[in-house]
Amino acid sequence: MSVIKAVLFDLDDTLWPIVPVIKRAENILFEWLERNVPAVAARVSIEGLRARRQALMESDPVYQLDLRALRHAVLVEAFIDAGEDVRLVDEAMAVFSRARNEVTLFEDVLPVLGRMKRRLALATVSNGVSDLDAIGIAHLFDASIAAYSFGRAKPDPSIFHAACDALKIAPGEAIYVGDDPLLDVVGAQKAGLRAVWLNRDGLGPARGLPEHVRPDAVCADLIELERWIGQ
């Protein structure tokens, strides 16, 4: 078995909880719409916009790679429907993006990543649209690969390989850590990496892990991950 030289991380629900972040960002965006383009706010709802994004993503696979473009496209539709200037959509997206990047890191993230960085290469591989510079943790990582800019999304092996190439390591020398059993665990393993299922919710395998998924380790937090790597 190869020596571990790098740890690659998922972001949403791995380094921070994402559901409260998205709910807050969508509320902030809708309040902005009510103040600045009330005609749009009168014709849509948060739930309605969410349903339209889901439908568009299912009908056009390109939006599965770029969630920001998906959100932008649905807002453009809403502005056109209300007869409003679509040039304001960029301003609306900026409002959402600022709130989207106001995340609360899990308590173990900064101390553990700070220690890991002293002896291992660190990277992120994500299907999301987080801005690590805006969040303030970009300096912790030697490489960051995002599906929307790379052009392929997890579980495609190429996105994992891109991170390994950026770190100049072989896939077998890396561990991937994420909360999604299929995208993160199975995807990473098929790309030749070892995979750790980060089960922060404390869900037992019977509830949270499909029977056919066999992670190399299951950890409740990054402290357990650090301990497992040390072994």
* pLDDT tens sequence across 127-165: 999 999 999 999 999 999 999 999 999 999 999 999 999
Residue 66's domain spans which residues? 19-100
Query: Is residue 38 one of the residues assigned to a domain?
Result: yes
Distance of CA 141 to the CA centre of its chain: 15
Q: Write out the two tokens for 28.
A: 């902030």
Cβ–Cβ contacts within 10 Å for residue 42, how many? 11
- Residues 75, 119, single domain; the answer is no
Q: Does residue 1 lie within any of the structural domains? A: no
pLDDT digits (tens, 9 = 90+) for 35-74: 999 999 999 999 999 999 999 999 988 888 889 999 999 9
Q: Indicate whether 135 and 200 sit together in one domain.
A: yes
Q: Are residues 207 and 128 in the same domain?
A: yes
3-state helix, strand, coil in the chain (%, to 5): 55, 15, 30
Same domain, 115 and 225: yes
User: Are residues 110 and 207 located together in one domain of the fold?
Assistant: yes
CB 142 within 8 A of CB 161: no
